[in-house]
Structure 1
């Protein structure tokens, strides 16, 4: 019976029968429902989709990350076997650009074990079409890796993981939930406050109506990855919109056809995301024994890696495309583009010195 219902109808039915659900449960159903979730449907990328990611803007983005990975691989004494894992690889564009550059380094291709984490069948097919020559394998979890160091790339992955929201009221913190009001989905609060000891000490004096977002799913993913990297060596690179230290305020948003949309409307048809608390991810990483670099903006990171020089080289090689190359560079690093909104996080084995960050 449930298969004949739309995702919207299934969510409303679940609320009527089981009561209001957490924001995390709602996000999880909207994005990853086994058959009707947003990431189970058609390709959401590009001009005909809902959003465009950095790799789709310019090849320079992936090429510079390819250089970054080779530099780390060399610092690790060019291991004969290593895993390169991408989380949420989209169409495979980023990884194709990465490997086009990285595999020019003698020995890199020979040791490469390419792994991808993806749930969208349509995107998996595109990834295979672009990356088949590298013999990719798709992972279902982060618990089993081949021997050797592990290098992880996650571009716009952590922002899509379900978050929980809590609101401070006079009698304590209450979890924000999704319920029904006059037959329509609406936000409300759990009537039962959570123990004060469960909240960060820094929020002990938070004002009434303060909202806190917590990404337990992101912390769990980072915990598992950091454990593997701590044991086998390597690094985790995450690029996303977010902030350096835990803070309050709502960032949950919906996007449909490149326009902001109500997060409670059209479940399964709207991209839902929230800003990433990189400070929390850094704490998890350090707890596992990794070092975490100071957070950089995407503009800073790509500039330090040489995007200006790469753009000049592309323009010289293709004079007719010089204006497009410059426009792409501005979009990737400019203040009015992705340059400051997007941040770059790196946690790694002690002793490595990843390029693009200031010590």
Structure 2
């Protein structure tokens, strides 16, 4: 399928040569005219995927209570920045703020900051958070100064990744070029990459064909540097792993997997988050990292079963069944279920201790 962005990418490749996966991904998601997130609301039944906050109010409510506990643990700074990275339609933040009303001082001290570049989603966020005086920013670095509590649900999976393939004589970067009929296709750089070996230094020896993915680290470094300098905690919730090899670069369209090269700008592109890299970036800035733990376990610690029970107690049978189904969907730990596939990483200023719902024994130290 030819798309306007696909034609533009083909012209770039013809002029400059094959491009890294990271550049292709960045163009597909964030191109100022044709980028996927610039042109649409991708969420829900009529979109391409559904996130946890859109499944049930319980997800955002539990994170709101986590944020209240984090704020108290930080010494209840007033004011502080309550930040969400990639806030979707604003559903998570709206649910979190509603739950946080249990402690009015939290809401009075919070200054709401949303980091998002999508005009379409910003409009939805503005509707959801009309009464909260939210501010919008393009980058983590643009959030005003002050101690911060940061929520990032399905944010890091959309950061561009570079890919390298082990061929026996070294790591060769995977690039996207033009194949038969001018179609986009994958290929390998002829010369081995010098930098890839540094990212694989802590991993087992690779076998031929092994794929190494390296997430773009700029936003993570900016977040970690800010928390170290100004104080605070962050939660990163995403599908991912704790380091290793594998090709997880993928496309989603209409709630199904698609060819990531088939329709540039028309499908969501993601890669599984390397939580070990995220933790190391935090530690390199001077933070403490905790986890990752499975989402199902984390939500159980926050009281998912209890919250579901309260919602079901006086609900009609059909509504109660929907609450129960939503809780199972968030916390199920079978193969491929959200409770197991999604992980949670906590980052904290070194003086703050373990973030709420994490144990000191879960501190990342690799």
- Name the TM-score class by shorter chain: over 0.9
Alignment of 1:76 with 2:102, yes or no, is no
Q: Within 1, Cα distance between the matches of 2:9 and 2:143?
A: 36
1:240–1:344 Cα contact (<8 Å) kept: yes
Unaligned runs of 5+ in 2: 361-366
1:125, CA displacement in angstroms?
0.5
Q: Within 2, Cα distance between the matches of 1:178 and 1:253?
A: 14
SS of 1:101's equivalent in the other structure is: helix
1:81–1:147 Cα contact (<8 Å) kept: no
Alignment of 1:207 with 2:207, yes or no, is yes
2:113–2:143 Cα contact (<8 Å) kept: no
Q: Within 1, Cα distance between the matches of 2:46 and 2:99?
A: 29
User: Which deviations, in whole Å up to 9, do the C-alpha atoms of 1:64-93 show, x marking residues without a partner?
Assistant: 000000001111221110001111110000
> Which of the numbers 254, 257, 264 marks the counterpart of 1:267?
264
1:143, CA displacement in angstroms?
2.4
Gap change, CA 1:17 and 1:118, over 3 Å in 2: same
Alignment of 1:284 with 2:285, yes or no, is no
User: Which deviations, in whole Å up to 9, do the C-alpha atoms of 1:151-203 show, x marking residues without a partner?
Assistant: 11010010011100001123211100001111211100011111275443245
2:41–2:47 Cα contact (<8 Å) kept: yes
Kindly report which structure 2 residues correspond to 1:305-320, keeping only aligned pairs within 5 A, or say none: 305-320=302-317
User: Which deviations, in whole Å up to 9, do the C-alpha atoms of 1:262-282 show, x marking residues without a partner?
Assistant: 011111011110000000111
Q: Within 1, Cα distance between the matches of 2:342 and 2:205?
A: 30
SS of 2:340's equivalent in the other structure is: coil
Alignment of 1:166 with 2:164, yes or no, is yes
1:144, CA displacement in angstroms?
4.3
Kindly report which structure 2 residues correspond to 1:101-120, keeping only aligned pairs within 5 A, or say none: 101-120=99-118
User: Which deviations, in whole Å up to 9, do the C-alpha atoms of 1:34-65 show, x marking residues without a partner?
Assistant: 11010011110000100000000000000000
Gap change, CA 1:76 and 1:248, over 3 Å in 2: same
1:16, CA displacement in angstroms?
1.1
Gap change, CA 1:37 and 1:222, over 3 Å in 2: same
SS of 2:6's equivalent in the other structure is: helix
Aligned length: 352
Find runs of 4+ consecutive structure 1 residues off by over 6 angstroms. Answer: none
Q: Which sits farther off after the overlay, 57-66 or 287-296? A: 287-296
1:312, CA displacement in angstroms?
0.5
RMSD: 1.5
2:199–2:214 Cα contact (<8 Å) kept: no
Q: Within 1, Cα distance between the matches of 2:338 and 2:348?
A: 24
Q: Which sits farther off after the overlay, 141-150 or 56-65? A: 141-150
Alignment match, 2:188: 189
Gap change, CA 1:327 and 1:205, over 3 Å in 2: closer
1:300–1:356 Cα contact (<8 Å) kept: no
Kindly report which structure 2 residues correspond to 1:292-307, keeping only aligned pairs within 5 A, or say none: 292-307=289-304
SS of 2:107's equivalent in the other structure is: helix
Q: Which sits farther off after the overlay, 325-334 or 164-173? A: 164-173
Q: Within 1, Cα distance between the matches of 2:199 and 2:228?
A: 28
